């Protein structure tokens, strides 16, 4: 597909409105199906987390008692708006949802809750749902990349760019022309929000960011369908998103490579159940210890050489007091890797928070800014650690491509096993139920609709 060289917001809207399933390469369709399965697992895993239960109670009080769209956390049917709200919160709770490196954006947790909710109302086919999801990924990844590193220092990109991603996916399902898509993006952008300040307080805002991005994007799309107008230059205008939220915005990132470089193929799966900024160092430490046959007791000191954003996001968490905070502590994550040889969803528990061995190891870890690592970021997330051993030795371990990145991706078998583990962790689906979802995801393009992922019911 060709892209008209015009105002950036309109150029993106034009591409999204004209996209067709047949335009999407088979590899991108296949990856979208895998990303969807990965998202379902995360949504099921997060259902018991306290912030998710809070938002679920709100949805139960404020939303309808029945409707066309599934709340995967409770199996209730509700309106698309409240289904997107709850599922968006739940899928971002256990730190296992996907990430696009260059935009530092979690697409699945905002695109799929909104797209699924709307598709279940409209009766969209599997092909239509997949194409809409591709559109959502393209919008969110490109807006996140456009807003740049300066944006991410203050704003949680998944909450901001994610609102436009959700709007694009839902607007696609509602059958827009270019003007309608443009207005959906405009109304989404004016609602875009999400600040990092919550990290230091261990506040619950991260789940609110994705809940609101998914539901506000859906809101914007439905309003635009009925003629509600939004700012036509919401991204590049004098009082638009870039003006208020970025100092290094690059308009080329919005449209360059559209129809050629597919965002879904550049998106990473999460291998460890922690903040993505910890993953490169975790992989590097694990590799170095495995190569030398070392245990946690053999390590005297670890220096993680990181990019600046890792320090910005992880630095405020020096003494983790909640499970969620522990996933944003470089010391705690590397301690978990050193002791357990893994940092999976079952490794982050209340008991682990009180584990003195993990606490002592965490005190041995420091982060330092590395110029090479920082220069490569966000296109590449290099893992680099310097390790001192208790016998007086030292070594440096390096990982060029963390596990889960497109160049070191998870296999279909690994993704299916991950989905089973996530469903079991949250108790959100039985073994038989998650296996049926896995089977549906393999041939999603053949499904007449995407309704009834789980049998209806209530806890």
pLDDT tens-place string over residues 437-448: 999 999 999 999
Q: For residue 170, what is the domain's CATH number?
A: 1.10.4100.10
The reply to whether 429 falls in a domain is yes
| 245 has a pLDDT exceeding 80 | yes
The reply to whether 140 and 234 lie within a common domain is yes
Q: Is residue 66 scored above 70 in pLDDT?
A: yes
User: Are 390 and 433 found together in one domain?
Assistant: no
Q: pTM for this one? A: 0.95
Q: Which two tokens stand for residue 39?
A: 């998202």
* 413 located within any domain: no
409 part of a folded domain: no
Domains in the chain, number: 2
Compute the average pLDDT of residues 52-69. 97
Question: Following DSSP, what letter does each residue of 166-188 receive, concatenated?
Answer: HHHHHHHHT---HHHHHHHHHHH
Q: Are residues 197 and 339 in the same domain?
A: no
Do 351 and 442 sit in the same domain of this protein?
Answer: no
Query: Does position 306 have pLDDT exceeding 90, yes or no?
Result: yes
Q: Is 266 exposed, middle or buried (0-12, 13-18, 19+ CB in 10 A)?
A: middle
- The arithmetic mean of pLDDT across residues 20-34, rounded, is 98
Query: 238 and 89: one domain?
Result: yes
Which range of residues forms the domain containing residue 340? 276-403
Kind of pairing between the strands at 69-71 and 299-306: unpaired
| More confidently predicted of 7 and 101 | 101
Instruction: Please give the structure tokens belonging to residue 36.
Output: 């969807």
Which sign, positive or negative, has the C-alpha torsion 9, 117, 162, 406?
negative
d(CA 257, CA 149): 20
Closest CA to 285 of 165, 194, 380, 367: 367
Q: What is the pLDDT of residues 140-169, one digit of tens each?
A: 999 999 999 999 999 999 999 999 999 999
Same domain for 423 and 337: no
Lowest mean pLDDT, pick from 15-19, 21-25, 197-201: 197-201
- Tell whether 121 is covered by a domain: yes
Q: What are phi and psi of 12, to 5 degrees?
A: -65, -45
Same domain, yes or no: 246 and 320: no
Is the pLDDT assigned to residue 226 strictly greater than 80? yes
Give the model confidence (pLDDT) of 112-138 as tens digits.
Answer: 999 999 999 999 999 999 999 999 999
Query: pLDDT grade, residue 200 (50/70/90)?
Result: confident
HSE-CB at 251 with a 13 A cutoff on CA atoms is 14
Q: Position of tokens 């998202």?
A: 39
Using DSSP bridges, classify how beta strands 299-306 and 365-369 pair: parallel, antiparallel or unpaired.
parallel
Q: Identify the band that residue 458 occupies on the pLDDT scale cut at 50, 70 and 90.
A: low
Q: Tell me the CA end-to-end span of the chain in Å, nearest whole number.
A: 47
Query: 389: helix, coil or strand?
Result: strand
């Amino acid at each position: 597909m060709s892209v008209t060289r015009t105002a950036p917001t309109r150029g993106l809207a034009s591409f999204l409105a004209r996209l067709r399933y047949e335009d999407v390469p088979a590899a991108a369709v296949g990856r979208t199906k895998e990303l969807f399965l990965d998202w379902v697992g995360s949504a099921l895993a997060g259902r018991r987390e306290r912030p998710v239960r809070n938002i679920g109670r709100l949805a139960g009080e404020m939303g309808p008692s029945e409707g066309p769209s599934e709340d995967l956390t409770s199996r209730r049917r509700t309106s698309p708006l409240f289904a997107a709200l709850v599922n968006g919160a739940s899928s971002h709770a256990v730190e296992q949802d996907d990430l696009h490196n260059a935009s530092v954006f979690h697409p699945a947790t905002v695109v799929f809750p909104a797209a699924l909710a709307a598709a279940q109302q409209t009766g969209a086919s599997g092909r239509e749902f997949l194409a809409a999801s591709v559109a959502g990924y393209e919008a969110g990844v490109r807006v996140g990349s456009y807003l740049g590193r300066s944006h991410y220092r203050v704003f949680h990109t998944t909450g901001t760019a994610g609102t436009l991603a959700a709007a694009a996916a839902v607007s696609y399902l509602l059958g827009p022309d270019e003007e309608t898509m443009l207005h959906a993006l405009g109304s989404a952008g004016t609602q875009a929000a999400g600040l990092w300040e919550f990290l230091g307080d261990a506040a619950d805002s991260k789940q609110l960011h994705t809940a609101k991005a998914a539901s506000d994007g859906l809101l914007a799309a439905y309003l635009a369908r009925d003629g509600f107008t939004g700012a036509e230059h919401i991204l590049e205008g004098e009082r638009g998103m870039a003006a208020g939220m970025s100092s290094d915005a690059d308009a080329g990132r919005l449209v360059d490579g559209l129809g050629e470089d597919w965002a879904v193929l550049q998106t990473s799966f999460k291998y460890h159940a922690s903040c993505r900024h910890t993953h490169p160092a975790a992989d590097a430490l694990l590799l170095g210890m495995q190569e030398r046959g070392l245990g946690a007791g053999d390590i005297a000191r670890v220096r993680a050489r990181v990019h600046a954003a890792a320090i910005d996001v992880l630095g405020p968490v020096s003494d983790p007091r909640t499970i969620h905070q522990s996933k944003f502590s470089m010391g705690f994550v590397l301690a978990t890797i050193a002791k357990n040889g893994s940092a999976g969803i079952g490794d982050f528990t209340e008991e682990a928070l009180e584990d003195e061995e993990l606490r002592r190891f965490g005190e041995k870890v420091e982060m330092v800014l590395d110029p090479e690592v920082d220069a490569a970021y966000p296109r590449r997330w290099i893992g680099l650690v310097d390790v001192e051993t208790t016998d007086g030795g030292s070594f440096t371990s390096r990982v060029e491509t963390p596990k889960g990145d497109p160049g070191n991706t998870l296999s279909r078998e690994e993704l299916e096993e991950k989905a089973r583990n996530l469903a079991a962790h949250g108790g959100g689906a039985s073994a038989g139920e998650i296996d049926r979802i896995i089977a549906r995801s393999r041939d999603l393009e053949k499904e007449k609709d995407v309704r009834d992922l789980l049998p209806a019911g209530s806890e």
